[in-house]
Amino acid sequence: MLKLHPSVAGRQSALLHLAELFIVCHELGHFLNGDLENETRFCAVDGNPWLQRFEENQDHAIEYAADATGFGLLQEVLTTLPTAYTPQNALQSVIIVFNLFYLLTEGESHSHPNPRSRSVNIARKYFGEEFADTVQKSYDDPELLRSLFPQPESRSA
């Protein structure tokens, strides 16, 4: 059994909370982008004529757009919290979310882009092309994540 230093446990917990918060912000992004206003995008759920579901965009454009809006929202929320989170912390949480989605979905689906491309897309929009390229390359070389997200001073045991 391992026991994490409280500062490490705190960072781990914060990133998980930010990851959950990003998912909520993504959904709000759909709302703010007007995705839910187009009635033609809703279709009946089989066997439940009283229930409709939102038909996802097949070219994935609205998912990328909701990611971008959601990431902007997440950064705004972070400025209201007493703990000092950085935009890099927010991106770390996004990478956590999309790596999890990648493991669950094994990539692109009919309705959603490849989760890894979603992380890279957000990195490109908010951190620039070079940063995004390094995020992309980190999927083949995870050590690159250390250059993108330097860790606080390591603690001696």
Interface ranges with Zn ion (CB under 5 A): 63, 66
Residue type, 53: R
Residues sharing a CB contact under 8 Å with residue 75, sequence separation 6 or more, in sequence order? 87, 90, 126
- Of 70 and 138, the one with the shorter C-beta distance to Zn ion is 70
Shortest Å, Cβ 129 to Zn ion? 24
- Of 70 and 95, the one with the shorter C-beta distance to Zn ion is 70
Q: Are 63 and 57 in contact (CB under 8 A)?
A: yes
CB atoms within 10 A of CB 147: 9
Shortest Å, Cβ 27 to Zn ion? 7
- Of 90 and 138, the one with the shorter C-beta distance to Zn ion is 90
Shortest Å, Cβ 65 to Zn ion? 9
Q: Which two tokens stand for residue 14?
A: 């914060």
